[in-house]
Amino acid sequence: MQQTARETALFTPRVLGLVCLASASIALASPSTAADLQGMLRLPFRVTRAMILGLIAGGGLLILALNWWLSVRSVALAHGYFHRVSERLLAA
């Protein structure tokens, strides 16, 4: 079970990392990203490229860490559930 959890926890953030990299590339390539963020969030200040880079880096790391943790927990919960179900079926 731990091997499956470890493999899953390594695979899913890699896939999500590719998606994050693609979306970051699009955001950085677009000249209107700063204005779009400012308008969407109704910010009273000017959004700079450094702010966008910080959001990409911080948000990307946060979402990858959360994805890793949720993957490990999901595998552990599923394993526990199916282990209990199989024990009940064998005992019946």
Query: If you average pLDDT over every residue of the chain, what do you get?
Result: 90
Here the tokens at position 69 are: 């943790």
**pLDDT over threshold 70, residue 1:** no
Q: What is the mean pLDDT of residues 38-58?
A: 95
pLDDT for res 89: 82
For the chain, the maximum distance between any two Cα atoms, rounded to a whole number of angstroms, is: 67
More confident residue, 61 or 90: 61
> Do 63 and 24 touch, CB atoms closer than 8 A?
no
For position 61, what pLDDT does the model report?
95
Q: What is the pLDDT of residues 50-88, one digit of tens each?
A: 999 999 999 999 999 999 899 888 888 888 888 888 888
Its pTM stands at 0.76
Radius of gyration of the CA atoms of the chain, in A: 20
